[in-house]
Amino acid sequence: MVDQPDELRQIRLFHKALADVNRLRIVQRLADGSASVTELIDHVGLSQPLVSWHLGRLRASGIVTTSRIGRETICSLRTEAFSEAAVRERDLLGRAVVR
């Protein structure tokens, strides 16, 4: 098995998180502002465990953050994650571009 550099794994993790329609719908909703898990369940129409699973993938990729307010989990979009990913990709993959 070939060892994969951490930088390439990060790029893969970011894109893989966005490669699911339900996760894209969650990101689309969070682009309008923070939301509770309950609000995301209503928006996406999936069960709580499934929404939580998708949020876990988005958190692992650095796209979403969560915080607790009482018994509610509030989710927020890290909009800077997209510019960070673009810079990382340009730095790592841009070298391969023929000019």
Q: Where are the domains of the chain?
A: 6-85
pLDDT band at 98; cut points 50, 70, 90:
very low
β-strands 72-77, 64-69 pairing: antiparallel
In the chain, what percentage of residues exceed pLDDT 90?
74
Mean local confidence (pLDDT), 42-64: 97
- Its CATH architecture, for the domain 6-85, is Orthogonal Bundle (1.10)
Mean local confidence (pLDDT), 50-54: 97
Please determine, for residue 99, whether its predicted confidence score (pLDDT) is greater than 90. Answer: no
